[in-house]
Amino acid sequence: SESDSEDDRPLKGRQGKVGKGEKSKKLEDENRQIKEFFKLGCESCSECFESFDRLQRHTRKAHDARASIKCCNRVFYKKCKILEHINSHIDPNQFHCDVCNKSYNSKYYLDLHNLKMHSDDALPFKCEKCGRGFPKEYLLKSHLETHVQVVCSVCNKTLASSATLRSHMANMHNGGTKHICDTCGQEFRTKLAMDRHIKQHLGINPIERVQCHICSKWVNGKSNLKIHIRTVHNEDNQSVACEVCHQMYPNERALSSHRRRVHVEEKFECEFCGKKFKRSIYLKEHRASHTGQALYSCDVCGMTTNSNANLYSHKKNKHPEQWLEAKKKAMTAAYG
């Protein structure tokens, strides 16, 4: 299925145990990173949460379903896969083959590529820490740097290598400088948070908070209030059943989401790995991860990628002025 299941197969053993304090800090950093990239709202009732863990618990208890995050035409159910995907946006070259320069969306596919395309005979220089092989000694020395963890001086997050730290600083902290809104002067820890704030100045997706007259809960927008009343308080009392599996849902919106997630036929199959997709464009972008074909290019710097979502993220992070100008033009064209 079009989810994170293809990466579930373990390629390495478990890492050593960490202390409770370190584990708590790591969990806090992970939740903060996910929240900065994605809106953690329930698909069925639109209730928003502070962490993916809370969204998971709510979805399981309230709707008897699995919480998920959708990005780049993929669906992720596990936090570790969400974080891995976020890092693929922050550092698109982290799963990069040092032998033939191809890039992949996950460590699993990079390892699979090396297994198929680069035999042990062609990779005599082995890393003692992870077992990866390299054709030249200088490539092994460069790779060894990735095993030296470093800590970000701004947010204290531990990163895998100096290269990852440089990418993290550029994307999350604007090279170490503060993110300040030039309209109102408000400071932000990350560029992503500032971009979200700037949208409010531009009038893009303004959010009106409204209160439920039954339970006094505040929700984002009148449409979400209607959904909240219908799903949580069930004023209409009109539950609907899935015609395929007969599972009950509180409304048509929740049922439609269930149909799209569970019962849509995946008829587009990858000839390389057998993975199936619901739409041909999903297959086209996935196939490019095998072939190394560049489907999209940045009109500012010429950077190429096989994912339209990666191109969008690249423009937003690397060329914020051009990205913002394009957003303004799009909004003007759409709304006058």
Does the residue 64 lie in any domain? yes
Phi, psi of 304 (to 5 degrees): -115, 150
Does the residue 242 lie in any domain? no
CATH number at residue 327: 3.30.160.60
> Is 200 found in the same domain as 233?
no
> Is 63 found in the same domain as 144?
no
Q: Which residues, listed in sequence order, are joined to residue 297 by a DSSP beta bridge?
A: 304
Does the residue 259 lie in any domain? no
Using the 3D structure, point to which of 62, 90, 118 is the last residue of a domain: 90
Burial class (CB in 10 A: 0-12, 13-18, 19+), 67: buried
> Is 101 found in the same domain as 65?
no
Provide the pLDDT for residue 234. 61
> Is 105 found in the same domain as 24?
no
Examine the pLDDT at 149 and tell me if it is beyond 70: yes
Provide the pLDDT for residue 10. 42
Provide the pLDDT for residue 251. 67
Does the residue 129 lie in any domain? yes
> Is 3 found in the same domain as 75?
yes
> Is 197 found in the same domain as 211?
no
Using the 3D structure, point to which of 186, 205, 224 is the last residue of a domain: 205
Domains held by the chain: number:
5
Most confidently predicted of 8-17, 38-47, 184-193, 298-307? 298-307
Does the residue 263 lie in any domain? no
pLDDT band at 151 (very low <50, low <70, confident <90, very high): confident
Provide the pLDDT for residue 250. 66
Average pLDDT along the chain: 74
For residue 71, the enclosing domain spans 1-7+14-90
Cβ atoms within 10 Å, residue 220: 18
> Is 85 found in the same domain as 23?
yes
The SS3 assignment for 309 reads helix
Provide the pLDDT for residue 7. 46
Provide the pLDDT for residue 334. 47
pLDDT tens-digit profile of 238-254?
Answer: 677 788 777 777 667 77
Examine the pLDDT at 175 and tell me if it is beyond 70: no
> Is 126 found in the same domain as 74?
no
Provide the pLDDT for residue 81. 84
Burial class (CB in 10 A: 0-12, 13-18, 19+), 160: middle
Examine the pLDDT at 19 and tell me if it is beyond 60: no
Examine the pLDDT at 262 and tell me if it is beyond 60: yes
Examine the pLDDT at 48 and tell me if it is beyond 80: yes
CATH number at residue 114: 3.30.160
Range 279-289 average pLDDT: 83
Does the residue 230 lie in any domain? yes
Using the 3D structure, point to which of 90, 114, 139 is the last residue of a domain: 90
Provide the pLDDT for residue 118. 66
Provide the pLDDT for residue 12. 42
Does the residue 262 lie in any domain? no
> Is 194 found in the same domain as 165?
no
Does the residue 130 lie in any domain? yes
> Is 158 found in the same domain as 186?
no
Give pTM, 2 decimals: 0.33
The SS3 assignment for 332 reads helix
Distance, CA of 236 to CA of 301 (rounded, Å): 54
Examine the pLDDT at 172 and tell me if it is beyond 70: no
Provide the pLDDT for residue 8. 44
> Is 58 found in the same domain as 47?
yes
Provide the pLDDT for residue 189. 66
> Is 156 found in the same domain as 140?
yes
pLDDT band at 207 (very low <50, low <70, confident <90, very high): low
